[in-house]
Amino acid sequence: MSVINVFLMGGTKESIEIIKHLKDNFNTYILTTTTTEYGKRLAIEGGSDYTIARPLPKDDLIEILNGTTDFDLFVDATHPFASHVTQTAIEVSKICKLPYIRFERYTSNLEEFDKTQLYTVKSFEDAGKLIEKKFNNVNVLHFAGANTMEKIVKYSSPENFYPRILEVESSFEKCEKLNIPKENIIPMKGTSTINENLELIDRLDAGVIITKESGDIGGVGAKLKAANEKNIPVILIQRPEIKTLDEKTVVHNLDQLDSKIKKILF
């Protein structure tokens, strides 16, 4: 079987699973893009043949795709909240006339959780305003990543703000810029378990949790279960809608990915 050249936009946990799966089941050359050196290291460990670790604007993507490698497939496995990246990916795949597949994690089933303690909002700006209005005097446990902190902290006191961030230099720099006390910062690796969340809630005397609707693979279920057990509210930011995304290009698991690849290339 001839080599399938795959351009993979990654940086997520499932993107590493995709790399391993493609290597195990197809004869592939995989170029992976991530935005961090941490993501690059994981992609290389997963088996990526070549990895680029920086944000890629539209023109750079086109230059890579029109370069020396004749790519057969564009797989977008970026985070569901990186909507601008997916919009660019869709546009670039059309310009370069490459088959596009969006690998998107399932949403979480919220039916089993206490709705009276769940506040669903459409944006981080809305989350910040809700903090200011309803939870301004409690400790805020922020599970939504370093890039979203600024929109929350401008409505909340940095002294009451406890972010769980990726253990990379850029995240610590963002905390310093926002005047978040060093003792408030919670470095992380991977998603947290229910017990870890319970320990954090107790230790920090958290009065509210902020998190994205990033699916169970992003630890949403574990955060909600811990919050329910401790009877504290959760502010859940909904996934952004991507209007240019054709649902026919979307897959949610590796079996669906296989079927889509075979339909496109074989």
CATH of the domain at 167: 3.40.50.10470
Domain residues for the domain of 228 are 115-237
**Helices (H) then strands (E): counts for the chain:** 10, 12
Residues 226, 128 within the same domain? yes
- Alpha-carbon distance of 49 to 227, in angstroms, equals 41
In whole angstroms, give the CA distance from residue 125 to residue 149.
10
Same domain as 232, residue 158: yes
Same domain, 122 and 138: yes
From CA 223, how far away is CA 120, in angstroms rounded?
A: 14
What confidence score (pLDDT) does residue 37 get?
Answer: 86
The answer to whether residues 164 and 231 belong to one domain is yes
Number of folded domains that form the chain: 2
Tokens linked to 127: 């989350």
Q: What's residue 200's pLDDT?
A: 96
100-103 and 73-76 beta bridge pairing: parallel
pLDDT under 50 in the chain at which residues? none
Where does residue 56 fall: left (phi above 0), alpha (psi -120 to 50 degrees), or beta otherwise? beta
- How many other β-carbons are positioned within 10 Å of the β-carbon of residue 104? 22
Q: What pLDDT score does 114 carry?
A: 85
